[in-house]
Amino acid sequence: MTDKHPADNEIQQYVLEISACEAKIVEHVEACEECKSKVAAYQLLFTGIREQPGPAFDFNLEKMVLAQLAPPKTKRSPENFYLYLFVMLGIALTGTVLYIYRSYVAGLFEGIAPLSIYLIVTTVSIILIALIIDMYKNYQKKMKALNLY
């Protein structure tokens, strides 16, 4: 027998299923008066929980929840298919062109004036910022729609 008392979860395990407990815990609980009182308290608690009536609603909760859920999509949208196809074709085409003309890519920007490069970078940055802002607004609108439920 050990002098250290078992933890509450071990005592609960003893109350619920004594066969699953370690032998040293069983020995300690049977010999220790403090642990016996904890076992009695847990037995009383578990008995009270088992004797409580189940919750009874005067309405059908399942129907109420299912009515608020969106119906599942049964078939894939062709819009997404075309979008993914377009993106994959664009990536494949870009990769093919870069692979074929890989020796010329290094000299691609040598003939362009620095001002033109700055204008191109600025334009691309503005377009990307506008797209990110639009995507964020769309996200916020969807989150507001979800909060209505």
Confidence of residue 132 (pLDDT cuts 50, 70, 90): very high
Query: Going by C-beta distance under 8 Å and a sequence separation of 6 or more, which residues neighbour residue 2?
Result: 24, 28
Q: What pLDDT does residue 125 have?
A: 95
Are 121 and 143 part of one and the same domain? yes
Q: Report percent pLDDT > 70 for the chain.
A: 92
Please tell me what DSSP assigns to residue 1. Answer: -
- At which residue do the structure tokens 């004594």 appear? 18
* Domain annotation covers residue 45: yes
Nearest Cα neighbor of 22 from 37, 1, 38 is 1
The predicted-structure confidence for 114-125, as pLDDT tens digits, reads as follows: 888 889 999 999
pLDDT exceeds 70 at position 76: no
The predicted-structure confidence for 27-62, as pLDDT tens digits, reads as follows: 888 888 888 888 898 888 888 888 888 777 777 778
* Domain annotation covers residue 82: yes
Domain of 95? 77-108
Are 101 and 130 part of one and the same domain? no
pTM assigned to the model: 0.38
* Domain annotation covers residue 64: no
**Count of domains forming the chain:** 3
